[in-house]
Amino acid sequence: MSISKYSGLLLIDKPVDLTSHDVVYKIRKKYKVKVGHCGTLDPFASGLLVLVLGEATKIASYISSNNKYYNCEILLGQTSDTLDITGECKTTALQKELLFSEMDIKKAIKKLTGKISLEVPMYSAVKVKGKKLYEYARENKNLEKIPIREMNFLDVQFLSYKDNILKITMKVSSGTYVRAWAKALGEYLKVGGLVKSLRRVTSSPYNLNQAMDLPTALHLNLSENNNEDSWNKAFIPINKTLLEMDKIFFSSKEAHLLKNGQIPHSVENALVVAQRQAQKLKESHLYVCLNKDEELLGILEIAISGKLSIKRIMAN
């Protein structure tokens, strides 16, 4: 089996101490295929990293917008410059100040659940004046104003609190920083806090139990049939992605027009009502374009203005 013939998602269980780019590089080097990822994981974090292979790199932005679930340990009574255990840590509370009850912790969690505006961590790839924040941090340059972003902590569940370590599960939307939440929790409790460990267990709709560990992925020989089961468990063909989007089926003639950057009149006519609805509700809408064999041809969007446009065209 040659991976060059495949486009889709590869689910990897990222180990700690590797960047997401490290994993991308290793998989690209091993299989000689274009690779990207859908939502980075910090080096100290582990768990589900969704890689996009081949033509699927064109749809990464539509996949990375999905919600994510984490298992998280937060160490109270300490802070660091990176907001996690890998940074320069300092103690910020006496042990007697850390004797919180379960009720105290749950009250704080409730306060910090939902949409919250928080400072983006300085050790992040968010750009200010064309430069990434972590570059400013490494150069010890202070910014007049650190960017503030609305983050959505959809669900946070208490598991335990022992020896100053809070264990929680967390469901968040895309663009949310768990490290920022840990800092906010520490400030709310007036003791400081940082992320001790972080493991991504879901990047909806994909789960960690579907993933392949990185050493296995790097040592697979896909020409051997006995390795195909391991690959097939962790590989999602491109036509099995974006299942939550509405579908439009194209004839061979319509598919040819789309491939050449044209929206067929028949498709435009079929979406007239949907275009009016988008204008009325001020909501954009995406459609996946499939041929009769359910192969992905591209993605169309109806903007809030009602305008229909091509967002992606796949090479078939």
Give the number of residues written for the chain: 316
Burial class (CB in 10 A: 0-12, 13-18, 19+), 107: middle
State residue 48 phi and psi, 5-degree precision: -70, 120
What are the residues whose beta carbons fall under 8 Å from the beta carbon of 47, sequence distance 6 or more? 13, 14, 41, 70, 71, 198, 199, 200, 201, 208
Packing angle, helices 178-188 and 102-111, rounded to 10? 120
User: Are residues 77 and 232 in contact, defined by beta-carbon separation less than 8 angstroms?
Assistant: no
What is the C-alpha to C-alpha distance for residues 309 and 138, in angstroms, rounded to an integer? 42
Catalytic, out of 13, 17, 22, 42? 42
What is the C-alpha to C-alpha distance for residues 265 and 176, in angstroms, rounded to an integer? 40
User: Are residues 203 and 95 in contact, defined by beta-carbon separation less than 8 angstroms?
Assistant: no
Nearest to 137 by CA among 186, 181, 192, 88: 88
Question: What is the maximum span of the chain, computed from C-alpha positions, in angstroms?
Answer: 74
User: Residue 163 catalytic?
Assistant: no
What is the C-alpha to C-alpha distance for residues 22 and 4, in angstroms, rounded to an integer? 20
User: Are residues 24 and 51 in contact, defined by beta-carbon separation less than 8 angstroms?
Assistant: yes
Q: Please report, as a single letter, which amino acid is at residue 316.
A: N
Question: Encoding tokens for residue 85?
Answer: 């255990």
The residues annotated as belonging to the active site are 42
